[in-house]
Amino acid sequence: AFCPGGRWLVSISVPPTYPLQAPKMRFVTPIVHPNIALQTGEICLDLLKDAWTPAYSVLECVRAVRMLLSCPETDSPLNVDVAAAAEGRRRRWHEEARRVLVCR
């Protein structure tokens, strides 16, 4: 598992046009992950962008982000350097992720 016991603060903003528009989600706590921008917390997840439909709920978005933590999408990373580390050196990536989490 990715950083077992790790906890991150995620901001969820539901727009007035919900459910026609996806909620905005971003990590407030810094996280080292291929699909999350370290500086801004932006989450690269199709469900939160182009794949959104009113059939989805905020809870399903939270579940999708949790799944993304366990199963990064290294084919379309937001953080290319971390994706390369995750692909080739998973142990080192997990160590760096834990270091950032512990230091905060």
Q: Which two tokens stand for residue 11?
A: 């901001």
Half-sphere exposure of 36 (CA within 13 A, CB side): 22
**Which of 44, 61, 71, 103 is labelled catalytic?**
44
> Could you tell me which residues come within 8 angstroms of residue 78 by beta carbon, excluding any fewer than 6 positions away?
34, 35, 36, 37, 42, 43, 44
Angle subtended at Cα 73 by Cα 13 and Cα 77, rounded to the nearest 5 degrees = 80
61 a catalytic residue: no
Contact 72, 3 (CB under 8 A): no
By annotation, the residues acting in catalysis are 44
